[in-house]
Amino acid sequence: MALKSGHRVIPLTCEEAAKQYEQFGGNRVGTIRLDPDGWFFTSPFIIFADKLYDFKFKPSDIVVMTYPKCGTTWTQEIVWTLLNNPNLDNPKGSVPVNLRCPFLENYIIKKFY
C-alpha cells in the first residue's frame, strides 16, 4: 500500500513484530514499517497518514515540537501565556492547556470521525 507521502506500508514479519512488542510492551494493535525511511508506527496510523500529510496550517498557527517526555505541555503553557496572557489575567487561563493548545494528532482524529 502506498501513502500520499510516497512511502510504502510494509507489515512487519513475525520476528520483527516480536522484537517490537518486546521493546514496546503496551502496544498490541500491530505495527507497520514505512519504506524507504524505515519508520515504525502502529497499524491505525494508516487511517490518518494521508490526512496528516494533507493538513494545511494557517499563517497564524504556532507549532510546538519537543522530544517525547521533554516538557511539551509546559512549553505549550509558556507559549500560550506569552501570546495571550502576559499579565496573567486572561479568563481562558484557567482552561486546561490541552484545550487551549491542541495536539495535531488529536485534531486530525476528531475531524476524521
Does residue 62 belong to any structural domain of this protein?
Answer: no
Instruction: Say which residues have a Cβ less than 8 Å from residue 63's Cβ, sequence separation at least 6.
Output: 57, 104
Does residue 108 belong to any structural domain of this protein?
Answer: yes
Which residue range forms the structural domain that includes residue 39? 8-54
Q: Are residues 49 and 76 in the same domain?
A: no
Query: How much is the mean pLDDT over the chain?
Result: 85
- CA 33, CA 9: separation in Å to the nearest integer? 6
Q: Are residues 14 and 43 in the same domain?
A: yes
User: Residue 68 — very low, low, confident or very high, per pLDDT cuts 50/70/90?
Assistant: confident
User: Residue 44 — very low, low, confident or very high, per pLDDT cuts 50/70/90?
Assistant: confident
% the chain with pLDDT above 90? 34
The residue with cell 506569552 is: 82
- CA 113, CA 43: separation in Å to the nearest integer? 17
Number of domains in the chain: 2
Q: Are residues 12 and 49 in the same domain?
A: yes
